[in-house]
Amino acid sequence: MRRIILSFSALFMMLSPVVANAGGFAIGISASLNTLDTAGKEDVDNNGTTDATKNVSDDFALGSIFAEFTNMGEKFGFTLGVDYIPFDGDVDKRSITQDACGAKAGGACPHTSSGTNSVEGTVKDHYTLYIQPGYMIKPNVMLYGTLGRASATFNGKSTSITHTDIDKDVDLDGTKLGFGVKYVYDGGLFLKADYSKTDYDTVSFTTSNNTKATADLDNTAYALSIGKQF
């Protein structure tokens, strides 16, 4: 939150008076700082019981391109748009060395095997359809909220001493909520600064020996955008 307040303050100092109630078609680019939180679970025999859990967090920067249309009234308006990220976002690889029991005999564990378990993931082909209802607080300043639907492909990879390896693509969908502020210059150039959070649906993978792994992803983003209205 502190970062977005500082960004808003800097923009207020940088920008000059602009044309009121500007709308129309626009294109632009965005840069964002992201925190991707991933909650992973493993069900070794797929019986509904969680055998292992792991929560990780990854920070990264991303760029995106967007196209949108804004319809403005005297004070209220709305923007419809689509944002596309042409880059991949990675869940960093995590590894751990573990031992696993072999076949039991007489209630004992006669031998163990040692190895390294690892898991990693990549989010790719990410786009978001969004609507941003807004209110003009000054002739050149609009506050807006964001409601969007995100879609992407999630590639999950895992190696383990207890199950067969995973390397699979699954669909990833989520709901985006946020808020921001927009400033429009004469001539249609504009800047936007916003905060958003995307809650993705849980994705799951099942190995050939019936181990089920699930991942629940949530992304928090602080973004600055520049665009041109026509």
Give the start-to-end residue ranges of the domains of the chain.
2-98+109-229
Pick the CATH number of 2-98+109-229 from 3.10.110, 2.40.160, 2.40.50, 2.60.40: 2.40.160
Q: How far apart are CA 195 and CA 24, in angstroms?
A: 23
pTM over 0.75: no
Integer CA distances (angstroms), 195 to 12, 77, 144, in order: 17, 19, 11
What is residue 216's predicted lDDT score, i.e. its pLDDT?
86
Give me the tens of pLDDT residue by residue for the chain, a chain 230 residues long. 445 445 544 544 444 343 445 578 999 999 999 998 888 776 666 566 655 677 778 888 999 999 999 998 888 999 999 999 988 766 654 444 444 554 444 454 554 555 455 566 677 889 999 999 999 999 889 999 999 999 998 887 666 555 566 677 888 899 999 999 999 998 889 999 999 999 998 887 777 667 777 878 899 999 999 999 98
Q: Give ∠ CA 55-219-197 in degrees, rounded to 5.
A: 130
